[in-house]
Amino acid sequence: MARLVKCTAKEPYKLETSDKTYYICQCGLSKDFPFCDGGHKRARDEEDGKLYIYDENGRVEIST
């Protein structure tokens, strides 16, 4: 089953433990999900109020 998930964060969540720091993906674009791989950089220039779909070729703006 396909599922559309709306993520609005444009940066990872920083999780610090006593011995290591983890960056957790909040944008949904990481190929190493749930860990951040820098995929959020693709979303930095998104415009507020617009909806985008991302794939391996880039992104497409969806009319709302």
Write the secondary structure of 16-52 as one string of H (helix), E (strand) and C (coil): ECCCCEEEECCCCCCCCCCECCCHHHHHCCCCCCCEE
Interatomic CA distance for residues 23 and 47, integer angstroms: 24
pLDDT in tens, the chain (64 residues): 778 888 889 999 999 999 999 999 999 999 999 999 999 999 889 988 889 998 888 899 987 6
Query: pTM (2 decimals)?
Result: 0.77
